[in-house]
Structure 1
């Protein structure tokens, strides 16, 4: 019995490393494709290649995917990592990419018709990355790392992004998403939209904590 449990554990560990590695590679491919496509544009709000490429990294989607890529790469090397920093960024990436998937497919997906590399990057970063990340967390964890301190620290990510976006917007005359475009909506509506996104993030965080605790109890040895 002990040998069987050991072999099962090693099999799950190998599968986890493969899944996390695959997720990191998919995100990296999406990011590289997006940067290449953006650098080749000949029109848009930003007139220089450097300006267009730098602006890519102002999007919540891109920042969430970067966090996912880094944390998954670390977990692929050592699936049992349990440092506080990793737990915070793992949760921030998980929730950030979940919000990305939900908001994109319910609000943003029909705004632009994409082709070629742009469509590939769009699929990898908005659809495949969320699916791989959420599935990987549900199946492989790591488990037992979500507490209120971790939730509070992870919540700094969307808060800081919103502050950065609203402060940067007037200087560059650009807002990455329609629901935070102060020029079109005004500050009252934008702040309301930000509260909605923050509430979604918090609900997902509390749901992730409750589900994590349930999964810990189910997988704990008798």
Structure 2
């Protein structure tokens, strides 16, 4: 695929991701709540919780890196490589965890349903397909993967520590009040393994697939 076509593909991904992020932020400002059905928190707490979700952070990474690629489809550099690989793995985990763990717990309607599908299904699918079609590749190696892994590790530690302070965690499987720390530990171990497998998979595919864009 040519750089011109790659630019168009990345532009579509960026536009959808930014739209979904702004859409969800508007719902936050208007007092909509997804996982909090009663007694929603104040605006400041809602904004913090918005940015605390791994879903939001992974979508932001996709939106930012896709915007950069829409301007320069062959963009490179160590920092960009780390951010791009983190975005791909993070958004893949977002889609998988939502489908298998969170989707059965949610009963959404209207705008909440629409934005939920955009953030958890549409953007993940678009981001992975765009990478498969237009890259940029090659960009990943073990060093890049190691740096990219820092983000989810820091996010997990921050989430668990802050959760003990204010009693709120973004996802029920990280709440020790539900089934205890043993269940939280199992969930963290399982997700960590998923991250490691995905980092290894994307790094391997990055080397095996045809370089892109041409």
Relative contact order: is structure 1 or structure 2 higher (C-alpha 8 Å, sep ≥ 6)? 2
1:117 to 108, 111, 126: 111
Aligned match of 2:171: 177
Equivalenced residue count is 210
Deviations 1:160-201 (A, max 9, x none): 110010011011211111111111122222122111111101
Q: Counterparts of 2:52 and 2:145 in 1: how far apart (Å)?
A: 23
TM value normalised by structure 1: 0.89
Q: In the TM superposition, what whole-angstrom CA distance separates every residue of 1:131-158 from its partner, at most 9, and x where no partner exists?
A: 1100011111111111100000011111
Residue number among 95, 98, 104 corresponding to 2:98 in the alignment: 104
Larger-Rg structure: 1
Structure 2 Cα separation of the partners of residues 208 and 170 of structure 1: 34
TM-score (norm. length: structure 2): 0.92
Matched, 1:28 2:18: yes
CA RMSD of aligned residues (A): 1.9
1:209 pairs, out of 203, 207, 214, with: 203
Q: Quick check: 1:150 aligned with 2:139?
A: no
Give the one of 39, 42, 45 matched to 2:29: 39
Measure the CA separation in 1 of the matches of 2:179 and 2:56.
24
Give the ranges of 4+ consecutive aligned residues of structure 1 lying more than 4 Å apart after TM superposition. 42-46
Query: Could you tell me how far 1:53 is from its partner in structure 2?
Result: 2.1
Distance (Å, rounded) in 2 between the aligned partners of 1:124 and 1:116: 13
Matches within 5 A, 1:5-84: 12-41=2-31, 44=38, 46-84=40-78
Unaligned stretches of 5+ residues in structure 2 = none
Counterparts of 1:144 and 1:90, CA distance in 2 = 12
The answer for the alignment partner of 1:186 in structure 2 is: 180
CA contact 2:31–2:40 (8 Å) conserved in 1:
no
